[in-house]
Amino acid sequence: MHRALVTVLQGFLAFVLLVGVWAQLVLIPTTAADEVDLFPPYEPFRIPLVTAAIAFVACVQAWIVASILLLQRSADGTVFQPSAQRWVTVLLSAAGGAAVVTFALFVYVTFAEIPSPADGMEVIGLWMGAATAVAGSVALLLLTLVGRHLLGKAIELRSELDEVV
């Protein structure tokens, strides 16, 4: 892969990583506090929802870090080394963690008696958002699993080719 493209991608991913840190430290807790100020019955639900959101962002951040390191291996020409599988395992773990967090959030939102200040659409939106996040997380997990299998095959073929040469 061209080094300039790798550098641009790594820079973009590093920016997204920093935005995630800002979201974890500022955006998510502040938004939750503002919602509780606007509608005090949300108070018992603030901690579980904030915890789930921060954990989900942490999983995304782990996925981004592993992606940055795999991109570096690609630029260095070492992506087809067996040690690259370690970073793909981190990708799988992060995607799996995100799937577990979003599924737990989906179950929580499904069975919690969350009050609504108006017509209940906020709760339905949260439920649909959680369901969409579960689907997206599982899709990412499966895509990463396929990528790991393909990388394993490529590493195997590369080692066979090295033996021939």
Contact at 8 Å (CB) between 74 and 52? Answer: no
Contact at 8 Å (CB) between 146 and 92? Answer: no
Query: Within 10 Å of residue 94's Cβ, how many Cβ atoms?
Result: 24
Query: Within 10 Å of residue 71's Cβ, how many Cβ atoms?
Result: 19
Q: What is the pTM of this model?
A: 0.89
pLDDT value for 99: 96
* Cα–Cα dist 147/155, whole Å: 12
pLDDT value for 50: 96
* CA dist list (Å): 122 to 56, 91, 116: 20, 32, 7
Q: Spell 111-144 as b/e; 16+ CB within 10 A means b.
A: eeebeeeeeeebbeebbeebbebbeebbebbeeb
pLDDT averaged per 10 residues, the chain (length 165): 88 96 97 93 93 96 95 88 91 96 95 85 91 95 94 88 79
Indicate the helix (H) or strand (E) that contains 59: helix 43-76
